[in-house]
Amino acid sequence: MWIRKTSLAALLAAAGMAMSSASMAQSRPADAGWYVGLSVGQSQAADTCEGIPGCDDKDTAFKIFGGYQVNRNFAIEGGYTDLGKVTINVSGPGGNLNANIKANAWEVVGVGMLPLADRFSLFGKIGLYRGEVEGTGSGVVLGTPISLSGKDTNTDLTFGVGLKFDITNNFALRGEWQRYSSMGGSDVGESDVDVLSVGVAFKF
C-alpha cells in the first residue's frame, strides 16, 4: 500500500509539473522571439538615369537585418542595406565622364504579418531609414580634366511588402520588395530606390 501511495503521489507531482510547464508555455506566445537574417537582390535608382546615355541604374544589393517578433502578427526590425551603385559612362566629341553613385541605408521598421496556410505568411513593413549617397566622377570636357565628388545624408520613409515561408519553426525564407523614398539631397540629387530581394531568417 505504501508503494502504491508513493507512486500515486509521484504521478500527481509529475502531472502538476507538466501542467505548470504547459501553462508557462501558453503564457509566452509561441511565435515570439529574436531573429536575424540576410538577403540579397537587385536595386534600382528610379530617377537617376533619366536623359543620361550610358547610365546603369541597377546593381546588386544586400541586407543584414534583425528584430524581435512580438507575436504572430507583429515584429520590430532593424537593418543595414548596401544599395549598390549607379554607373555612368558617357563619351562624345566634347569629352567623356565616368562616375559612380553609391548608396546605403540604416532602417527601423514595424512589420505586420498575415499568416496563411502551409507555413506561408504575407508581410508588410513601414518605417524610417537614415541613408547616405556618395558620388564620385572624373573625365575630360573640351580638353580640360575634371573631377567631381559629393555626399548627401538624409532621413525619410521606407516601406515594402513580401512573402515568408517557414521551413521550420526557427528557419524561414523571405522574398520582398522595398522602397527607400527620396534618397540623396542637393549635392548628389534625389531618387527613389527600389530593392527586390530574397533572403533567410533564423529565429532563436
Phi and psi, residue 168, nearest 5°: -135, -175
Question: Do residues 52 and 20 both lie within one domain?
Answer: no
144 and 66, same structural domain? Answer: yes
**Is residue 49's pLDDT more than 70?**
yes
Is 65 found in the same domain as 5? no
User: DSSP of the chain, one letter per residue?
Assistant: -HHHHHHHHHHHHHHHHHHHHHHHHHHS-TT-EEEEEEEEEEEEETTTTTT-TTEE-EEEEEEEEEEEEEETTEEEEEEEEEEEEEEEEEEETTEEEEEEEEEEEEEEEEEEEEE-STTEEEEEEEEEEEEEEEEEEEEEETTEEEEEEEEEEEEEEEEEEEEEEESSSSEEEEEEEEEEEEEEETTTEEEEEEEEEEEEEEE-
pLDDT at 2 over 80: no
At residue 30, the pLDDT reads 58
% of the chain at pLDDT higher than 90? 72
Q: Are residues 54 and 13 located together in one domain of the fold?
A: no
User: 154 and 59 in one domain?
Assistant: yes
Q: Which triple of cell numbers denotes residue 51?
A: 536623359
Predicted local distance difference test score (pLDDT) of residue 50? 87
The model carries a pTM of: 0.82
15 and 88 in a common domain: no
| The pLDDT of residue 5 is above 80 | no
54: left (phi over 0), alpha (psi -120 to 50) or beta: left
The domain of 11 spans 1-30
pLDDT at 79: 98
Q: Do residue 109 and residue 199 come from a single domain?
A: yes
pLDDT tens profile 55-74: 999 999 999 999 999 999 99
Q: Are residues 114 and 23 in the same domain?
A: no
**Residue 118: left if φ>0, alpha if ψ -120 to 50, beta else—which one?**
left
Note whether 97 and 151 are same-domain residues.
yes
pLDDT for residue 27: 39
Same domain, 83 and 97: yes
Per-residue pLDDT tens digits for 117-168? 889 999 999 999 999 999 999 999 888 999 989 999 999 999 999 999 999 9
* pLDDT higher than threshold 60 for residue 78: yes
| Chain segment 12-23, per-residue pLDDT in tens | 444 444 444 444
CA distance 137 to 98: 6
Considering Cα of 90, then 105, then 200, then 46, what sign does the dihedral take? negative
**pLDDT band for position 172 (50/70/90)?**
very high
Mark whether 14 and 83 lie in a shared domain: no
Provide the domain count of the chain: 2
- The domain that holds 194 is classified in CATH as 2.40.160.20
22 and 108 co-located in one domain: no
